[in-house]
Amino acid sequence: MRCAIIGSGNIGTDLMVKMLRSDVLDLVALVGIDPESEGLVRARGLGLEAPHTGPEWILENASNIDMIFDATSAYVHVRHYQEYAEAGITAIDLTPAARGPKVIPSVNLYDHLDAPNINMVTCGGQATTPMVFAIRRVIDELPYAEMVSTVASKSAGPGTRQNIDEFTKTTSTALREIGGALLSKAIMVLNPAEPPIMMRNTVFAGIPEGADHGAVIDSVHEMVAEVTKYVPGYRLKNPPVIEEGPFHTPGGIVPHRAVVLLEVEGSGDYLPAYAGNLDIMTAAAMRVGEAIARSRKEKDANA
């Protein structure tokens, strides 16, 4: 499939490096708004189209593009996502705009491959929603889930900082809609420490009476292995534990609480290793884009 990336910042440039290795996605352009941005300069050096007229270029060249990866901002995506759909372009949205179905590859990769616009939630959502889902799938009910995502301040560019409100809302919604929690909360922390820290995530989940604690722990480990298939730097910082309560949560008093501590190390394709928060987004988006391409190729072969 012929693809273009919109947004020539850190995420878009890292995605470009990953996509050039793909055997099913044909990257034709990295699109930005600053002709001198490092991403566009790199793209030109690699022989790619590197226009600086933003979404307008995509719409003007829609007949030559099958899929776009939007790495701009929630505001920009909301303004243009309907135009992409009307032009027949599938959009994979790496902003927290929350338009279209949300996809976490380790949970619902194959549920929305025909959707015109797919939302990749947020970096924190990609890291923690799988854990919430893993806990929920082995217990009768998950009354409450909370995540705290801490990332290096250096890895949070202008787009990330502009979208913090959208980040918390979209992530919290994903913990319910995809993770299965009845109530949820999301918190983001930008840590200015030097040297920069790896992305770290903490998940708290209320465990009702009678739940099989061993099954919860086993399910978490199984899900970590699933995410690692496309995000190699995704790992448990410490073994998951079930704490004794009672705990007072917005979902009521629960007798136990699962605690999962995660760390995400970037693959170093373009971004530094500490920027796991950005790497998990580009890796997840690649997973979805390649699944869409393979699905369409199979449908064409069977037509």
Catalytic residues: 123
Give the whole-angstrom CA distance, residue 261 versus residue 229.
Answer: 19
| CB half-sphere exposure, 23, CA atoms < 13 A | 1
Residue 291: how many other CB atoms lie within 10 Å: 17
The DSSP bridge pattern shows strands 2-6 and 67-70 to be parallel
Residue 150: how many other CB atoms lie within 10 Å: 18
Residue 102: how many other CB atoms lie within 10 Å: 24
Residue 97 sits at φ, ψ, to 5 deg, of -65, -25
Helices 123-136 and 164-177 pack at an angle, to 10 degrees, of 20
18, 286 in Cβ contact below 8 A? yes
Q: Residue 269, exposed/middle/buried by CB under 10 A (0-12, 13-18, 19+)? A: middle
Give the whole-angstrom CA distance, residue 272 versus residue 155.
Answer: 9
